[in-house]
Amino acid sequence: MPYSTAGKNLMLNALKGTNPTTPITHAGLYDEAAAITSVTGVAATDLLTKVGHGLTNGDLVVLRSLTGGAGLVTEYPYYIVGVSGNDFQLSTTSGGSAFNFTTDITSVSVVKLVEISGGSPAYARQTISFAAAAEGLLDDTSNPVFDVPAAAVVNYVGFFSAVTAGTMCGIDQVTEETFAAQGTYTLTDAKLDLNA
């Protein structure tokens, strides 16, 4: 169903906290671990399989190079659930039910996303604020600056309802930036668009 601009504005304003009051209040930075390649999956059980995958329940991942797995979307945030030996499942919410994909997966790469940590001064999520939605787009009104430790790599920005834990409301891949030494990362522009 295509949404009208007015409908988009109402939904985006809800994400910013107008109603309900669980808004996006903070942004955080993520690095991606090495891809777990040649993962397979069986639609009948929603199980993905890879010997020695190293994933644990609650891990945040994105999928790449997906062959099969109808219903799954690449670069969409999924959470790992149902880990048992070499098998695991995907969920669209942390601790939620397994996602029901409808065709077998012949191959997919699973990329774990890890929130940046450490450093001196230490990394922490930063406050972010948004203007009222207009033309179906929510634009930030702040430029949060993050302390980033040496050797960190920034690949994604996440948007959350709290400074720690909270609900992840969105995630966006950014141009990779590697920090040879302790430094800062400035989020110069963040836009939330229901079409993206």
Question: In this predicted model, what pLDDT tens digit does every residue of 74-109 receive, in sequence order?
Answer: 999 999 999 999 999 999 988 999 999 999 999 999
Report the C-alpha gap between 122 and 131 in whole angstroms.
29
Strands 87-91 and 78-84: antiparallel
Q: What is the pTM of this model?
A: 0.88
Structure-block tokens of residue 143: 């430029």
**Which helix (H) or strand (E) segment is 26 a member of?**
strand 26-32
Does domain 32-114 fall into CATH 2.60.40.1260? no
Question: In this predicted model, what pLDDT tens digit does every residue of 148-186 receive, in sequence order?
Answer: 999 999 999 999 888 998 888 888 999 999 999 999 999
Q: What is the largest CA-CA distance in the chain?
A: 49
Report the C-alpha gap between 45 and 7 in whole angstroms.
37
Q: What is the CA radius of gyration of the chain?
A: 18
Domain spans of the chain, in order of start: 5-31+116-193, 32-114
